[in-house]
Amino acid sequence: MFTPDPLIAAAAIARTRAFAPYSNFAVGAALEAEGGALVMGCNVESASYGLTLCAERVAIVKGVSEGHRRFRRVVVVTDTDRPTPPCGACRQLLWEFAPDAEVVLANLRGVILKYTVAELLPAGFDAGNLGRRA
């Protein structure tokens, strides 16, 4: 997939690393941290299905483990006719670590959709709901 956007290109590369032997649904994600660092992730499936990790969550957890706490841009790449948005669990983690981020959904055919995290998860749950500062 050729694209002038390096974050979309990174997510497309991450997609090729997906471990999806059960669904054959490979997903790649790439995050841009506040400091500009790039973090990639792919989905990793489990035979028990419930332990499967989405590409977005893999990238967030990887980024946090590398010392990043906020992300300003998120890209998800799939090989579908219409780009695929993050699932509910991924939206929740995006709300917590990338509340102001642009979310770019792309497919291998060059279709690109753009949202904000707030558009994907209005009235999200965060530390403020626990009586703490977000």
CATH fit for domain 1-37+46-69+77-106, picks 3.30.420.40, 3.40.50.2000, 3.40.140.10, 3.30.499.10:
3.40.140.10
Our CA dihedral for 115, 59, 33, 117, rounded to 10 degrees, sits at 20
Straight-line distance from the first to the last Cα atom of the chain, in angstroms, rounded to the nearest whole number: 38
pLDDT tens-digit map of 49-61: 999 999 999 999 9
Query: What predicted TM-score, i.e. pTM, was given to this entire model?
Result: 0.93
pLDDT tens-digit map of 93-129: 999 999 999 999 999 999 999 999 999 999 999 888 9
Cα separations (Å) of 100 from 10, 79, 108, 126?
21, 26, 26, 13
Is the pLDDT at 2 greater than 70? The verdict is no
Give pLDDT, residue 1.
57
Give pLDDT, residue 134.
56
Mean of pLDDT over the chain: 95
Q: Which of 32, 34, 45, 56 is catalytic?
A: 56
Token pair listed for 75: 């890209």
Is the pLDDT at 133 greater than 80? The verdict is no
Instruction: Give percent of the chain with pLDDT exceeding 90.
Output: 92
Q: What is the DSSP letter of 85?
A: P
The 38-42 sheet, strands edge to edge: 38-42, 27-33, 71-78, 102-107, 112-116
| CA dist., res. 46 & res. 49, Å (int) | 5
Catalytic residue status for 56: yes
Is the pLDDT at 132 greater than 90? The verdict is no
Give the residue extent of every domain in the chain: 1-37+46-69+77-106
Token pair listed for 62: 């990887």
Give pLDDT, residue 96.
96
Give pLDDT, residue 127.
87
